[in-house]
């Protein structure tokens, strides 16, 4: 099957859905089902749009984008299914967002990436507009627009030097023309900042708090789970196959390290459960980009998968919990899980996996990260990750103890059976993969090679 259908079908349905509002939600579900089906049937390769080989726009399907597509589409589908009530007025926006997310993962063209970045960005502004805080969303919009503007500036500088927009051709052209690294520092820095806004990296992430602080389950899972994963994967592809960091790599590392530390410290200090998860998410995305910047593609993808699964569980349950109890102060939520044992179990598994305790998938991921870093002699970074994990462990354990052990009266909340089933399956998945990881590591083995193959073949067929 042609992977362009992954983008074309949601778009077609989005255009159809505005003709009659009644059909919007069924169309969304059909499009999601079709996309999930398509993801598992498309075959690898480079697909041209319009038939202009390397001179037009191409879509690249390799192991990397295939894994990303599977994870993102499945989680997107489950998010919509488990939050069916909130979806109603946003159906068209979600259809466009689905197309944008798939486009970001598939595209092999720098400017096309910018267009999809805008599509995803605008749908994100609209998805977060439901939280009745227009100022926060406005802030997000302004920062997102400036970010993508800076990305565009970097892109055009790169184009003027290399004469191409094809991602697979940039690196070979740089080598061919022998462009010195110092000349590339400015465009790459601009593009890094531009994507950093969306990827929640530190000096550029003041939008996150306002937007996600009061978000419901749908919004927070979409923004912190689906969109964050997509942006991280896109960023990862750029960092590993297009960017030559060279002289700016030190600045980049400092930004990322500060992002991680500040995120964890803020999470540690926070008294609201959603803020804790939010700052933890910021720190995690810093870590993911850090791994990509160091060329550790396989651990980064493992972390991304672990992240989206645990983020789905944590944010869904928190969203339902806050809806039911009308509060997100940790103090007043004491002991909620003693009445909702199943949900509490899933939440606990997810948070323990984030910390990286043995028996859970997170442990395998952290172990993998540390061994890779040690083999590169990156002692400073390994120490940083250990410190960060320690802080993370402290506040998550503190949070779990508060949520399990009741003092006095206990608030209750109701959860749909569907949500229970899905979160439990995901939690069990985290345990199963924590014990038996072989299929995943096997399928990840070939990722770095395949990523480089596209460059070696110079975008030809």
Partner 1 sequence: MIQYASIILIMLGLYGLLTNRNVIKIIISLNVFEIGLNLFIISVGYVDGGLAPILTGNSTSVLSFVDPLPHALVLTSIVIGVGTTALGLAFAKKIYAKYGTYEIDEMGVE
Partner 2 sequence: MKKVLSLLVVLALGFGIINSLNQNSSFPKFGEADVSDRVSDRYINKNVTEENEEVIFGEDGYETGSSNFVTSIVANYRSFDTLGEVTVLFISAFGVALLFSKDSKRVSLNFKPNFMLRVGSRALFGLIIMTGIYISVHGHLTPGGGFPGGTMIASSILLLYLSNDSFRTKIKGFKLLEGFMGSLYVLIGVAGIYVTGYFLENFLDTGVVGDLFSAGIIPIVYVIIGLKVGSEIASIIDNFLTEEVS
Question: Is residue 185 close enough to count as binding partner 1 by CB under 8 A?
Answer: no
- In the list 34, 48, 118, 429, the residue contacting partner 1 (rule: CB under 8 A) is 118
Which stretch, 73-81, 118-126, 355-363, 370-378, contacts partner 2 (CB under 8 A)?
118-126
Question: Is residue 142 close enough to count as binding partner 1 by CB under 8 A?
Answer: yes
| Shortest distance, position 418 Cβ to partner 1, whole Å | 33
| Shortest distance, position 118 Cβ to partner 1, whole Å | 5
Q: Residue 5's binding partner, choosing from partner 1, partner 2, none, with beta-carbon cut-off 5 to 8 A by kind?
A: partner 2
What number of residues does the chain have?
A: 461
- Please compute Rg for the chain using Cα positions: 21
Partner residues linked to 137 by β-bridges:
none
Which stretch, 16-24, 84-92, 127-135, 299-307, contacts partner 1 (CB under 8 A)?
127-135
Q: Give the Cα separation of 68 and 442 in Å (integer).
A: 16
- In the list 54, 133, 173, 247, the residue contacting partner 1 (rule: CB under 8 A) is 133
Q: 335: helix, coil or strand?
A: coil
Give the list of residues 6+ apart from residue 288 with CB closer than 8 angstroms, or none.
Answer: 232, 236, 300, 303, 304, 307
Look at residues 46, 246, 247 and name the one whose alpha carbon lies nearest to residue 166: 46
Q: Residue 408's binding partner, choosing from partner 1, partner 2, none, with beta-carbon cut-off 5 to 8 A by kind?
A: none
Q: Residue 293's binding partner, choosing from partner 1, partner 2, none, with beta-carbon cut-off 5 to 8 A by kind?
A: none
Question: Is residue 160 close enough to count as binding partner 1 by CB under 8 A?
Answer: yes
Q: Residue 56's binding partner, choosing from partner 1, partner 2, none, with beta-carbon cut-off 5 to 8 A by kind?
A: partner 2
Q: 163-195 burial string, b = 16+ CB within 10 Å, else e?
A: ebbbbbbbbbbbeeeeeeeeebbebbbbbbbbb
- In the list 210, 324, 393, 429, the residue contacting partner 1 (rule: CB under 8 A) is 210
Q: Residue 146's binding partner, choosing from partner 1, partner 2, none, with beta-carbon cut-off 5 to 8 A by kind?
A: partner 1
- In the list 23, 111, 404, 413, the residue contacting partner 1 (rule: CB under 8 A) is 111
Q: CA 245 from chain center: how many Å?
A: 22
Question: Is residue 145 close enough to count as binding partner 1 by CB under 8 A?
Answer: yes
C-beta of residue 48 within 8 angstroms of C-beta of residue 107: no
C-beta of residue 227 within 8 angstroms of C-beta of residue 199: no
C-beta of residue 276 within 8 angstroms of C-beta of residue 395: yes
Q: Residue 43's binding partner, choosing from partner 1, partner 2, none, with beta-carbon cut-off 5 to 8 A by kind?
A: none
Q: 323: helix, coil or strand?
A: helix
Give the list of residues 6+ apart from residue 38 with CB closer than 8 angstroms, or none.
Answer: 1, 3, 5, 6, 9
Query: Of 95 and 256, which has the nearer Cβ to partner 2?
Result: 95
CA distances in angstroms from 341 to 149, 348, 396, listed in the order given: 48, 10, 18
Q: What is the DSSP string of 389-444?
A: HHHHHHHHHHHHHHHHS--S--------HHHHHHHHHHHHHHHHHHH--HHHHHHH
Partner residues linked to 109 by β-bridges:
166
| Shortest distance, position 204 Cβ to partner 1, whole Å | 13
Query: Of 1 and 33, which has the nearer Cβ to partner 2?
Result: 1
| Shortest distance, position 433 Cβ to partner 2, whole Å | 35
Q: Residue 209's binding partner, choosing from partner 1, partner 2, none, with beta-carbon cut-off 5 to 8 A by kind?
A: none
Ranges within 161-180 binding partner 1 (CB under 8 A) = 165
| Shortest distance, position 101 Cβ to partner 2, whole Å | 13
Q: CA 207 from chain center: how many Å?
A: 16
Question: What is the size of the binding site for partner 1 (CB under 8 A)?
Answer: 26
| Shortest distance, position 455 Cβ to partner 2, whole Å | 17
Ranges within 5-34 binding partner 2 (CB under 8 A) = 5, 8, 11-12, 14-19
Query: Of 146 and 357, which has the nearer Cβ to partner 1?
Result: 146
Look at residues 15, 211, 26, 209 and name the one whose alpha carbon lies nearest to residue 124: 211
Which stretch, 156-164, 197-205, 217-225, 259-267, contacts partner 1 (CB under 8 A)?
156-164
Q: Give the Cα separation of 215 and 83 in Å (integer).
A: 13
Angle (CA) 435 436 441, round 5° = 125
Question: Is residue 115 close enough to count as binding partner 1 by CB under 8 A?
Answer: yes
Give the list of residues 6+ apart from residue 231 with CB closer than 8 angstroms, or none.
Answer: 104, 120, 195, 198, 199
Q: Give the Cα separation of 115 and 117 in Å (integer).
A: 5
Question: What is the size of the binding site for partner 2 (CB under 8 A)?
Answer: 54
| Shortest distance, position 381 Cβ to partner 1, whole Å | 32
List residues binding partner 1 (CB under 8 A).
111, 115, 118, 122, 125-126, 129, 133-138, 141-142, 145-146, 149, 152-153, 156-157, 159-160, 165, 210
List residues binding partner 2 (CB under 8 A).
2, 4-5, 8, 11-12, 14-19, 47-53, 55-57, 89, 92-93, 96, 99-100, 103, 111-112, 115-116, 118-119, 122-123, 125-126, 129, 157, 159-161, 163-166, 177, 179-180, 183, 185-186
């Amino acid at each position: 099957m042609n992977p362009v259908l992954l983008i074309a079908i949601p778009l077609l349905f989005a255009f159809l859905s505005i003709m009659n509002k009644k059909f919007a939600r069924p169309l969304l579900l059909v499009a999601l089902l079709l996309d999930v089906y398509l993801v598992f049937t498309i075959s690898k390769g480079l697909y041209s749009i319009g038939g202009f080989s390397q001179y037009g726009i191409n879509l690249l399907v390799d192991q990397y984008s295939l894994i990303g597509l599977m994870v993102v589409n499945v989680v997107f589908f489950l998010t919509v299914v488990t939050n069916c009530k909130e979806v109603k007025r946003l159906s068209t926006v979600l259809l466009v967002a689905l197309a944008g997310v798939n486009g970001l993962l598939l595209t092999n063209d720098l400017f096309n990436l910018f267009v999809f970045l805008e599509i995803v960005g605008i749908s994100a502004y609209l998805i977060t507009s439901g939280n009745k805080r227009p100022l926060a969303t406005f802030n997000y919009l302004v920062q997102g627009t400036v970010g993508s503007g800076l990305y565009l500036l970097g892109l055009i500088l790169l184009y003027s030097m290399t004469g191409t927009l094809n991602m697979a051709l940039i690196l070979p052209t740089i080598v061919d023309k022998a462009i010195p690294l110092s000349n590339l520092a400015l465009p790459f820095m601009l593009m890094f900042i531009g994507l950093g806004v969306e990827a929640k990296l530190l000096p550029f992430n003041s939008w996150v708090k306002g937007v996600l602080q009061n978000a419901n389950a749908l919004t927070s899972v979409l923004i912190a789970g689906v969109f964050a994963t997509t942006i991280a994967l896109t960023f990862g592809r750029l960092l590993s196959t297009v960017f030559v960091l060279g002289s700016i790599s030190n600045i980049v590392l400092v930004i990322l390290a500060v992002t991680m530390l500040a995120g964890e410290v803020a999470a540690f200090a926070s008294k609201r459960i959603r803020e804790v998860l939010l700052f933890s998410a910021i720190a995690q995305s810093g870590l993911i980009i850090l791994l990509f910047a160091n060329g550790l593609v396989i651990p980064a993808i493992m972390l991304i998968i672990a992240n989206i699964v645990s983020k789905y569980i944590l944010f869904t349950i928190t969203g339902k919990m806050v809806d039911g109890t009308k509060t997100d102060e940790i103090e007043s939520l004491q002991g909620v899980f003693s009445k909702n044992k199943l949900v509490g179990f899933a939440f606990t598994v997810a948070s323990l996996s984030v910390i990286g305790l043995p028996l859970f998938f997170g442990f395998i991921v952290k172990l993998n990260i540390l061994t890779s870093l040690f083999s590169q002699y990156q002692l400073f970074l390994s120490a940083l990750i250990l410190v960060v994990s320690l802080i993370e462990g402290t506040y998550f354990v503190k949070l779990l103890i508060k949520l399990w052990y009741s003092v006095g009266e206990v608030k209750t909340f109701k959860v749909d059976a569907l949500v229970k089933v899905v979160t439990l399956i995901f939690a069990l998945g985290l345990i199963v993969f924590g014990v038996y990881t072989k299929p995943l590591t096997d399928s990840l083995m070939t990722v770095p090679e395949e990523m480089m193959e596209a460059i070696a073949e110079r975008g030809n067929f």
